[in-house]
């Protein structure tokens, strides 16, 4: 019997496990990968450096560190308008930093169970009391293997996009949103050799990213890495009519004379899906917590989830440990995690979600206008990439600008989106102190998003990603 079982060894799971163990819990972390594969990804990744300082851990260095950057150039769909914003970032090896986090967890006393696939939750009397696992090294050619039931006072779902525990919980235990394809992007990247120069490729001395808008509800990025390699990737909105993510990346490279055919690595993350939305409406239940991508705790403006998972795990681990010590793991006892997340970073990310829905819903021509006229300017881009409250210039200034150029329809959209972002920020900042307030709070949250999509003409299509798990590894 464990105090806490954490499902998944990504940043959210590792930090939750470490924090709970440091606070006196007996913790087991279960992951389907081998020990050496924790953190493994096809390429480097980046994160805002503030998270390392906030959590009191060293910044990546030595072999962990690929580069540091301090700027982002956002390019309009027609490529005629560019906005440059200060965006501190650290590019690092996901595998090496992931291994470091696993080391922190092991030093704190966390026990690891590798090569074990979690099949679903164990539920008794309205509580999540454990998980069912299959040991992959025992599997035969048909995939049948030894199964085991593991018990814990608290089960933490950090299993990533597929959320194998959360999605298998009934509504009477956990309130959760449907999964819409429009709130998901399919990620893909290639690491290509830079062989020359062009206006669409960052020059050697450029310390940051180029991000191109207008790519099927997502954006395409290119960032230089060491030894004249460049990381070129994309997130494509997973909705009807959009292509897969591979061809746009390869077409961009083929059309760019600075990018050569030599490719060091290609592929997606694990899995290829990224939730691109604000968090799920309920993060804690009886004996249960969700963190990281499993809780949709990502930055909706970029899809970044590595650092948000760490920050969520820091809260979840401490709250779980306190509940275990009190021998009360009810949703009331674990609710502090829900409150702390929503009233903190969760409120900022919820406001970003309104901006994200707008940028995915309006036309490329309208996106061109927003960048050309500075409505999405340097200050706004800096906020969206650095987890700061989003603000647009005074309403009178916006009205004056649009009145002069005659884009009344776009003016109304922008005004409504800004108002919706403010309402979401306020709503999340006042998240209910107890589960009793969830129904009213969630009704208001749902109403804001429904009205926002209606005003923007944004449709949604529900998808069963859990049913397609056999096509992509967890």
Interval 254-264 mean pLDDT: 94
pLDDT tens-digit map of 202-221: 999 898 999 999 999 999 99
Instruction: Please tell me the predicted confidence (pLDDT) of residue 272.
Output: 85
Contact between 156 and 203 under an 8 Å Cβ cutoff? The reply is no
Tokens 């105090």: give the residue.
3
pLDDT for 402 equals 52
Mean pLDDT of 461-470: 72
* Summary mean pLDDT of the chain: 92
Return the pLDDT at 411.
84
State whether the Cα torsion 66-296-87-193 is positive or negative: positive
Least confident of 103-112, 221-230, 362-371, 431-440: 221-230
The answer to whether 224 and 282 are in contact (CB under 8 A) is no
What pLDDT digit, counting tens, does each position of 151-176 carry?
999 999 999 999 999 999 999 999 99
Furthest CA-CA distance within the chain: 70
Q: Is the pLDDT of residue 471 over 60?
A: no
Q: What are phi and psi of 361, to 5 degrees?
A: -100, -30
Take residue 424 and report the two structure tokens written for it.
Answer: 């979401």
| Distance in angstroms (rounded) separating the CA atoms of residues 170 and 159 | 18
pLDDT for 470: 37
pLDDT level of residue 468 (50, 70, 90 thresholds)? low
Judge whether residue 317 has pLDDT over 70.
yes
- Radius of gyration of the chain, Cα coordinates, nearest whole angstrom: 22
Query: Number of helices (H) and strands (E), helices first, in the chain?
Result: 12, 17
Determine the pLDDT at residue 165: 98
**Confidence band, pLDDT 50/70/90 cuts, at residue 289:** very high
Instruction: Say if residues 259 and 191 touch (Cβ distance below 8 Å).
Output: no
- pLDDT, position 469: 47
Q: All domains of the chain, ordered by start, with CATH?
A: 2-45+97-179+276-344 (3.50.50.60), 65-91+181-273 (3.30.9.10), 347-456 (no CATH)
Instruction: Over range 450-459, report the average pLDDT.
Output: 96
Residue range 427-451: mean pLDDT, rounded: 98
Cα dist from 30 to 128, 130, 157, whole Å? 16, 12, 10
Structure-token match 């006892």, residue found: 333
Sequence-separated contacts (24+) of 219-226 with Cβ below 8 Å: 220/248, 220/249, 220/252, 222/252, 223/46, 223/69, 223/91, 224/67, 224/194, 225/43, 225/44, 225/66, 225/67, 225/91, 225/191, 226/66, 226/67
Q: Are 83 and 73 spatial neighbours (Cβ–Cβ below 8 Å)?
A: yes
pLDDT 10s digits, 20-70 = 999 999 999 999 999 999 988 766 678 999 999 999 999 999 999 988 889
Q: What is the pLDDT of residues 370-402, one digit of tens each?
A: 999 888 889 989 998 889 887 654 444 455 555
pLDDT band at 265 (very low <50, low <70, confident <90, very high): confident
State pTM to two decimals: 0.94
Q: Tell which residue, 83, 68, 85, 90, has the closest CA to residue 383.
A: 85
Cis peptide before 271 (omega within 30 of 0): yes
User: pLDDT for 98-112, tens place per residue?
Assistant: 999 999 999 999 999
pLDDT of residue 270: 64
For the cut 70, the answer to whether the pLDDT of residue 94 exceeds it is: yes
pLDDT tops 90 at residue 196:
yes
Output the pLDDT for position 399.
53
Percent of the chain with pLDDT over 70: 94
What integer pLDDT is reported at residue 127 of this predicted model? Answer: 98
Q: What pLDDT does residue 226 have? A: 81
User: Cα(47)–Cα(101) distance, rounded to whole angstroms?
Assistant: 15
CB 369 within 8 A of CB 407: yes
* Cα 134 to Cα 231: distance, rounded to the nearest angstrom: 36
Burial 62-84 (b: 16+ CB within 10 A, else e): eebbbbbbebbbbbbbeeebebe
């Amino acid at each position: 019997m464990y105090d806490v079982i954490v499902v998944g060894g990504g940043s959210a799971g590792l930090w939750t496990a470490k924090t709970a163990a440091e606070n006196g819990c007996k913790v087991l972390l279960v992951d389907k990968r081998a020990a050496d594969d924790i953190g493994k990804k096809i390429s480097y990744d980046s994160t805002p450096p503030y998270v390392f300082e906030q959590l009191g851990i060293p910044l990546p260095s030595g072999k962990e560190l690929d580069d540091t950057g301090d700027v982002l150039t956002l390019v309009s769909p027609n490529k005629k308008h560019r906005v440059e914003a200060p965006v501190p970032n650290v590019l690092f090896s996901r595998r090496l930093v992931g291994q470091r986090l696993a080391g922190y967890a092991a030093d704190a006393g966390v026990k690891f169970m590798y090569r074990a696939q979690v099949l679903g939750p164990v539920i008794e009397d309205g509580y999540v009391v454990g998980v069912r696992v299959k040991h992959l090294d025992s599997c035969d050619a048909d995939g049948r293997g030894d199964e085991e039931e593991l018990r814990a006072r608290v089960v933490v779902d950090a299993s990533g996009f597929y959320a194998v525990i959360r999605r298998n919980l009934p509504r009477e235990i956990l309130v959760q949103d449907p999964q819409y394809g429009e709130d998901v992007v399919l990620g893909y990247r290639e690491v290509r050799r830079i062989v020359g120069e062009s206006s669409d490729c960052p020059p050697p001395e450029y310390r940051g990213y180029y991000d191109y808008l207008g790519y099927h509800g997502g954006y395409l990025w290119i960032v230089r890495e060491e030894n004249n390699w460049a990381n070129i990737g994309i997130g494509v909105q997973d909705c009807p009519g959009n292509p897969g993510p591979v061809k746009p990346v390869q077409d961009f490279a083929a059309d760019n004379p600075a990018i050569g055919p030599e490719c060091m690595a290609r592929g997606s993350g694990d899995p290829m899906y990224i939730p691109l939305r604000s968090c799920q409406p309920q993060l804690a239940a009886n004996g249960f917590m969700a963190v990281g991508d499993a809780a949709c705790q990502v930055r909706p403006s970029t899809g970044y989830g590595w650092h948000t998972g760490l920050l969520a795990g820091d809260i979840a681990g401490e709250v779980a440990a306190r509940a275990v010590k009190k021998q009360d793991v009810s949703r009331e006892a674990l609710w502090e995690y829900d409150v702390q997340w929503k009233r903190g970073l969760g409120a900022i990310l919820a406001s970003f979600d309104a901006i994200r829905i707008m940028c995915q819903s309006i036309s490329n021509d309208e996106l061109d206008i927003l960048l050309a006229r500075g409505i999405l300017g340097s200050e706004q881009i800096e906020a969206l990439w650095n987890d700061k409250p989003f603000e647009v210039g005074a309403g009178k200034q916006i009205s004056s600008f649009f009145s002069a150029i005659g884009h009344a329809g776009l003016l109304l959209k922008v005004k409504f989106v800004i108002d919706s972002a403010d309402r979401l920020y306020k709503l999340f900042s006042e998240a209910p102190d107890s589960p009793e307030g969830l129904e009213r709070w969630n009704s208001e949250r749902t109403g804001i998003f429904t009205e926002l999509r209606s005003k923007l003409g944004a449709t949604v299509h529900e998808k069963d990603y859990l049913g397609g798990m056999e096509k992509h590894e967890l």
